[in-house]
Structure 1
């Protein structure tokens, strides 16, 4: 049996996971139970597509509930008062200058569960996250990418 790993979350990330967990447990469970009840009324369950679909959705939802419960039980929530303002860490919002593309980019450094590249929320385990962790303003870091080294200059560090 593998050792349970901890999940690092910002307070916002923890809240979002907690909200999804409560929604699935309370509202979605009732909704799917009602769909199953209605589908049972359609007759023979062996040939009842609505019943089968509802049962499959129920199984997926229960799996997600179990995943979220495990994440919440093993979460380490970053204490925002301990986020340094002079060094990049999880919970930091970092403005960098990408030398290759000659543009400023703002990243939020988060734990891997919260990562969302579309929102520029990058994981502390990603190449950019690894390179930026521990950096200070005015430092330039090298990020290893499949296309070679990318240089990012840290312009500003804030609490996210």
Structure 2
């Protein structure tokens, strides 16, 4: 199954993979060597911890390689801004509070609430998908609360 990412998101994954393989892997290998040099491995907590860290690192590297291999970069030039979709930025009016908010809908692995980027799989994003400027989205949150947003603007 393809994982949709932005070009920026794919570059971040590749940079993280490079860091793990070129910096973290040699560091853990060195820790294992140092622990092994301390003698009896059956009672060596440092060796056990380093081997466990190595296993976790290799698992993380493997997952990252899989994610990169199955990633499909979203072509922003093909996006339609007439409706709310992934990678669009939407300016909303909360009909309850009358406050305006602005969000960019992004793939799961690129969400960053502080930067105004919300996962396309959140309840709010799901409720906004496909809406046009002027439409109202009625969204029921997992806790049962209901929100109502008017779509004011859609952009890239």
* Structure 2 counterpart of 1:155: 152
Task: Say if 2:59 is the partner of 1:63.
Answer: yes
* CA offsets 1:26-65 (integer angstroms, 9 cap, x no match): 1111111111111111111111111111111111111011
Tell me how far 1:87 sits from its aligned partner.
2.1
The unaligned stretches of length 5 or more in structure 2 are: none
User: Structure 1 residue 108 and structure 2 residue 108: aligned?
Assistant: no
Residue 73 of structure 1 corresponds to 69
Matches of 1:69 and 1:140, distance apart in 2: 40
Give the Cα–Cα distance (whole angstroms) in 1 for the partners of residues 128 and 93 of structure 2. 12
Aligned to 2:93: 97
Which segment is superposed worse, 56-65 or 146-155? 146-155
Tell me, what secondary structure is at the counterpart of 1:134? coil
Q: 1:8 aligns with which of 4, 7, 12?
A: 4
For residue 32 of structure 1, give the secondary structure of its aligned residue in structure 2: helix
Residue matched to 1:126: 122
The TM-score, its normalising length taken from structure 2, stands at 0.90
Unaligned runs of 5+ in 1: none
Distance 2:115 2:51 in 1: 34
Say which SS state the counterpart of residue 91 (structure 1) adopts. Answer: coil
Where does residue 38 of structure 2 map in the other structure?
42
Q: From 13, 22, 43, give the equivalent of 2:18.
A: 22
Q: What is the number of equivalent residue pairs in this alignment?
A: 155
The alignment yields a C-alpha RMSD, in angstroms, of 1.6
Deviation of 1:117 (Å): 3.8
Give the TM-score of the pair, scaled to structure 1.
0.88
